Amino acid sequence: MVARNIPVTLQRCSLEEADLSRLAFTGWTFDACRLTRAKFTGATLTESRWSGCRGPFADFTGANLSESEIAGCDFNNGGFRGVILTSSSLKRCKLTGANFAEARTLGCDFEEVIFADARLPGFSFRKLHLKQLDFSGADVSRCDFREAVFEACSLREAHLVDSRFDGADLRGADLGGVRLNNAKQFKGAVISRAQAADLLSELGLKVL
């Protein structure tokens, strides 16, 4: 299949294991497509729309997904290394185990996304309202969460080395598994009394 220069809508198509690397799909719509192990490495996917797609192990390494909308999709264990997601929207997606190392994410909008066990080092979530994001067990080292607001989110057992939370509102985050040796990561952040009590319980102290 050869990508054309005009936007195309693909509905309920099977692209499983297809190699679509380095092709141009600007403005294309992918609706309820099967994309298991499909390869979009280095593809141009700017302003594309993805809805209800299923693509476990799909490979978007180095692809340009800027200004795209991705909703209700399953890209578990997907390869997104070096992907460009500038000004994109990801909502109601499953991205368990996905690799977003070296991704560019400035101005992204995230809502109801499962990032459990994903690799997200260096992601920028600065000043974003994060609603129902699950980072359980994820690598969020060096991430920028400054001034972000967490609503019904989970950071349980997440890897937080060198992440920044200055000015973040963490009262809506599950901080289970966070230890006192990680507490300095939250300098300048707002946490609840219950969260503070959980941290101090490691020292055998009780907050009354």
Which segments of 23-141 are extended strands (E)?
29-31, 49-51, 69-71, 89-94, 109-114, 129-134
Displacement of CA 98 from its chain's centroid (Å): 8
C-alpha angle 128-33-20 in degrees, rounded to nearest 5: 90
Over residues 81-102, the pLDDT tens digits come to: 999 999 999 999 999 999 999 9
Instruction: Decide: helix, strand or coil at residue 208.
Output: coil
Classify each residue of 167-200 as buried b or exposed e, where b means 16 or more C-beta atoms within 10 Å of its C-beta: ebbbeebbbeebeeebeebbeebebeeebeebbe
Amino acid at residue number 190: V
pLDDT of residue 198: 76
**For residue 199, which phi and psi values (nearest 5 degrees)?**
-65, -45
Specify the pTM: 0.89
178 forms bridges with which residues in the sheet? Answer: none
The phi and psi torsions of 180 (rounded to 5 degrees) equal: -60, -30
How far apart CA 70 and CA 91 sit, in angstroms, is: 6
Q: Which tens digits make up the pLDDT trace of 168-186?
A: 999 999 988 776 666 677 8
Q: What is the pLDDT of residue 2?
A: 44
Residues in the chain predicted with pLDDT less than 50, given as ranges, are 1-3
pLDDT for residue 200: 73
